[in-house]
Amino acid sequence: MKILLVSPSGSDLYAKVGTQLPPLGLLYIAAFARNGGHYVEVIDLSVDKNALSRIHLKRFDVVGISADTPRYPAALKIAKKVKEAGIPVIMGGYHVTFLDKDALDTGLVDYIVRGEGEEIFLKLINALDNRSELKVIDGISYLDNGRIVRNKSASLPDILDDFPYPARNLLPIEKYKGKIVGVPLANMITSRGCPYDCNFCSSTKFSGMKWRFRSVESIADEMEVLYHKYGYRAFAFMDDNFTLRKNRVMEFADEVEKRGLRNIIWYCFSRVDILARNEDMVKRMAEVGAFQIFLGLESVNHNALKDYGKRIEFEQQMKAIRLIRKYKMRVHGSFIIGNINETEKQALETIEWAKNINPEVTQFSVLTPYPGTALYNQVEREKRFLHKKWELYDALHPTITLDHLRPEDVTRLLIKAYQSVYLQPKRFYKKKKTRPVKIKRSKLFGLSSMVRPVSFFLTFKKEMNRTAALYQFNSER
Ligand code: B12
């Protein structure tokens, strides 16, 4: 079959802060389909905005589209064009996994692939190719005479080492501007699943409680390709829990050294409790290039942490930050504004705390109910939805009614939060204690690291003002 895979364009704001990266999920799907003998092309509208109008859709037998929640409306627009060309549409990704019926009811989507899509998509394509039975394919939803057929969920792939690498060569990789401290960044996934199940996060519902992981040899093999063939020196491990098992991190460090992957820097997601109890692991990570660690710090308020189901304590938050800095790495701290019963005072306490910690990268998100999460179900139950304008579900816009804060308060607090952290004078003059990077980086890095926070803040504020007009705050409660 001739397959076109499309990644809709995301918010420009994320690209502006250096997170423009190839869509790994779609590239995994592409690799599987290609290995299954199909012809595949991929377009990513975030880097090539006009790709769709250039492409002759009738050349393809089927078009697959990714849809996380904020990009779902854009995904539907693409689906409309594809359907107008008479080509069947398959949609996959977080949003449609949980709201498959909504998508099918639009009449713009023929099949939904629910959950991790590699094996399911290939089976579906083969079935369409051979005109064989769809009801035996686990993990898909479709309409049959106007009625939704939701086949049972597929079992999650266990042996990730057998997966082909994402088909990066199907995209113009050099066009991606994702960088860390000026060094171009390659993104990778080394594990799937999460046993923590925080109430605002989609990962556990999507990928299961069981943590499935690649061997350190498999990770290093892919890194070698990225290092030698593509020339990358910076890596971002985008799994929810790169550090879940200490032994694997320690073995990974040995493997990186054994392979001679020198002068690299890397980034990963972790949890404060795991770091706080494993100083030896933190030290070892730094020795083999760990440079920046993402921590879901969320809130300084104990009750909020409890509501989020984070299972972390203040002491662990502070210790993890101390350890990261002790070994001269950078903290990427992520905070949440707008817990359902948060007061202005509590939100300001978290903002003040963030300002004091002053993570090198600081991210504030508005608590947002993503489909499939416990939070979404609570908001539905309590009738707290302000709107379902999915494009505004980007964690920068209010979407729910809170007990004490109005939507405009949340927006004001979010602006204040970014302003308090990024525009504080010490960010501009204080010497960084991070270990030096001995890798060639873009010439303008020094200048851009000064300008970027200001430019980010101005763009962010403009975006806030632009979108404030988009909603009518119909607080029904
Ligand atoms: C990296 C990342 C980003 C990067 C994206 C850059 C990039 N191209 O990788 C950046 C930093 C920009 C980003 C931003 C945001 N992100 Co983000 N991100 C992730 C993260 C950590 C990893 C993504 C990844 O590579 N996954 C690995 C691949 C293999 O999985 P995948 O992409 O989901 O693809 C699989 C399936 O979804 C499915 N599939 C996907 N597309 C298709 C298409 C077809 C046709 C088929 C059949 C199947 C299919 O099959 C794929 C293979 O198994 C995930 C968490 C996670 N564990 O996935 C969150 C996640 C995707 N992000 C999320 C969110 C909420 C956001 C933000 C909205 C808010 C924020 N502040 O984080 C923003 C805005 C995004 C936007 N679209 O504008 C949520 C999405 C929830 C939802 N319902 O939409 C996630 C799941 C985090 C979470 N746990 O809640 N993000």
User: Ligand 1, closest atom to CA 98?
Assistant: 83
- Which of 16, 8, 120 is closest to 65 using CA atoms? 8
Distance 203 CA to ligand 1 centre (A): 9
Distance 93 CA to ligand 1 centre (A): 8
Tens of pLDDT, residue by residue over 79-110, are 999 999 999 999 999 999 999 999 999 999 99
Distance 189 CA to ligand 1 centre (A): 11
> DSSP letters along 296-315, please?
EEE-S-HHHHHHHT----HH
Radius of gyration of the chain (CA): 22
Query: Which residue's alpha carbon is nearest to atom 21 within ligand 1?
Result: 238
Distance 67 CA to ligand 1 centre (A): 9
Tens of pLDDT, residue by residue over 308-343, are 999 999 999 999 999 999 999 999 999 999 999 999
Going from N- to C-terminal start, the domains of the chain cover 2-150, 178-468
User: Ligand 1, closest atom to CA 25?
Assistant: 34
Q: Contact, 172 vs 166, CB < 8 A?
A: no
CA distance 372 to 382: 16
Ligand 1 pocket test, candidate residues 5, 13, 14, 151, most atoms within 8 A of CB:
14
Query: Hey, what CATH topology would domain 2-150 get?
Result: Rossmann fold (3.40.50)
Query: Which residue's alpha carbon is nearest to atom 15 within ligand 1?
Result: 394
pLDDT for the residue 477: 38
Which runs of consecutive H residues, i.e. helices, occur in 85-207?
94-98, 100-105, 118-130, 203-207
Distance 109 CA to ligand 1 centre (A): 20
pLDDT for the residue 177: 85
DSSP state of 469: T
Query: Which residue's alpha carbon is nearest to atom 40 within ligand 1?
Result: 93
Query: Which residue's alpha carbon is nearest to atom 45 within ligand 1?
Result: 64
pLDDT for the residue 18: 62
Q: Contact, 1 vs 69, CB < 8 A?
A: no
pLDDT for the residue 151: 98
Which residues neighbour 432 within 8 Å (Cβ) at sequence distance 6 or greater?
360
Distance 68 CA to ligand 1 centre (A): 6
Q: List, chain by chain if needed, residues with CB within 6 Å of any ligand 1 atom.
A: 10-11, 14, 19, 21-26, 28-29, 64-66, 68-71, 90, 92-95, 113, 116-118, 121, 187, 189, 201-203, 238, 240, 365, 370-371, 394-395
CATH homologous superfamily of 178-468 equals tm_1862 like domain (3.80.30.20)
pLDDT for the residue 469: 61
Q: What are phi and psi of 161, to 5 degrees?
A: -60, -25
pLDDT for the residue 367: 98
User: Ligand 1, closest atom to CA 64?
Assistant: 45
User: Ligand 1, closest atom to CA 94?
Assistant: 83
CA distance 112 to 127: 14
The burial class, CB within 10 Å (0-12 / 13-18 / 19+), for 188 is buried
pLDDT for the residue 305: 98
pLDDT for the residue 476: 39
Q: Which residues of the chain have pLDDT under 50?
A: 474-477
Q: Contact, 169 vs 140, CB < 8 A?
A: no
pLDDT for the residue 384: 98
Which runs of consecutive H residues, i.e. helices, occur in 5-71?
12-16, 24-35, 51-54
CA distance 422 to 453: 6
pLDDT for the residue 449: 66
